[in-house]
Amino acid sequence: MKIDLTETTSSQINQALVSARRAIGTPAIGMVLTLVIVTDEENAYDALKSAGDASREHPSRIIAVIKRVSRSPRARRDARLDAEVRVGSDAGTGETVVLRLHGELANHAQSVVLPLLLPDAPVVVWWPEDAPADPAKDPLGALAQRRITDTYSAEAPLDELAVRAAAYSPGDTDLAWTRITPWRSMLAAALDQQPATVIGAVVEGESDNPSCELLAMWLADRLGVPVERTLSAGPGLTAVRLETKNGVIVLDRADGSLATLSMQGQPDRAVALKRRETAELLAEELRRLDPDNTYESAVKFGVEKLHAGGEVTAKPVDEKPAEGERKAPAKKAPAKKAAAK
């Protein structure tokens, strides 16, 4: 069921939601959170589709905030709110409100969204693209316990990683980080099966892919070893090699779907490691609303060392920094105990 509202208010939108639920015979719906999507007309359809698919696992009230750019000075002064209310099969397992903010109202989106939030429920804000430099200080981001960005959609993804590290606040996360969860899990499991001291690593993937850089920084941070970043034609992340004293552990995915895990003294095995859709990534992030300390440590480690074909290197714990040199972070627990969250 869809209800279109023109030149409306937050109060009228709430009344429309109640009326729509009664009309379809579901006056009470158990929703677990409010998901606010900040996007534009070009990307709204894909973002809403992904959020709707994710809502089948996490029933939620989805609020899409679309800021309409006014062309004339007079139109920019006029404030108007148009809305579309969707419930039932048109809104996944929750309900959806699409807000179009015109004129000066676009600069005060938080005043429109605040009355529409579910009471006593967590709030998550997602920017599919064009995320603010500091999500926690953004007026909409300040309403949320969890803030989701995607550095892969940025014009300069690797530069965006440095921005995310500099502005990190507890609750921030990045879909570029979520994309490597299966890789982190598989590598940690491989080291559990074959305990060995890792002395070096290589991460191979396409250029300007922040997921590859995040995985390289995670390995360097957790293992305290040099990590070399090499380039490939993709798609995405293609291979990780861990040099150990017992041989090489290789996780190779050349086709973006099926990977091969090779370890010394064991037969090669095929593992499913397909590239996931945005809905799957979003659903994973909505499973946890607490700060991701592992992401924080990875994104802040070695960001200034990122460059094509370079290395992300951890300084040994017992090595004293030269005078005037910034002290490197302390060595963390081995990667075999650092299972992906």
| Residue 94, pLDDT score | 80
Pairing of strands 33-39, 60-68: parallel
- Tell me the residue ranges of DSSP E strands in 128-193: 146-149, 172-174
- What is the average pLDDT score of the chain? 85
Is pLDDT above 80 for 70?
Answer: no
Of all residues in the chain, the percent with pLDDT exceeding 70 is 84
Is pLDDT above 60 for 303?
Answer: no
Position with higher pLDDT, 68 vs 112: 112
Confidence at 339, pLDDT banded by 50, 70, 90 = very low
Residue 300 near residue 168, CB atoms below 8 Å: yes
Confidence at 22, pLDDT banded by 50, 70, 90 = confident
Query: How many angstroms from the chain centroid is the CA of residue 79?
Result: 32
Residue 123 near residue 33, CB atoms below 8 Å: yes
Report the predicted TM-score, pTM, of the whole model to 2 decimal places: 0.84
Q: Span 88-114, mean pLDDT?
A: 87
| Residue 74, pLDDT score | 62
Q: Span 119-142, mean pLDDT?
A: 95
| Residue 332, pLDDT score | 39
Of all residues in the chain, the percent with pLDDT exceeding 90 is 57
Residue 254 near residue 238, CB atoms below 8 Å: yes
**Cβ contacts of 191 within 8 Å, gap of 6 or more:** 198, 242, 249, 334, 335, 336
Is pLDDT above 90 for 72?
Answer: no
| Residue 91, pLDDT score | 64
| Residue 335, pLDDT score | 40
**Annotated domain spans of the chain:** 2-149, 177-285
DSSP per residue, 72-126 = SHHHHH--EEEEEEEEGGGGTTSEEEEEEEEGGGGGGHHHHHGGGSPTTS-EEEE
Is pLDDT above 70 for 308?
Answer: no
Measuring CA to CA, which residue among 236, 336, 223, 217 is closest to residue 281?
236
| Residue 114, pLDDT score | 96
Confidence at 311, pLDDT banded by 50, 70, 90 = low
| Residue 77, pLDDT score | 65
Q: Residue 24 to residues 14, 48, 87, 258: CA-CA distances in angstroms?
A: 16, 21, 8, 44
| Residue 88, pLDDT score | 76
| Residue 43, pLDDT score | 93
> How many residues are recorded in the chain?
341
Q: Residue 69 to residues 102, 215, 274: CA-CA distances in angstroms?
A: 7, 38, 38
Dump pLDDT digits (tens) for 147-192. 999 999 998 888 899 999 999 999 999 999 999 999 999 999 998 8
Dump pLDDT digits (tens) for 256-285. 889 999 998 889 999 989 999 999 999 999
Dump pLDDT digits (tens) for 51-65. 999 998 989 999 999
| Residue 207, pLDDT score | 87
Dump pLDDT digits (tens) for 239-253. 999 999 888 999 999
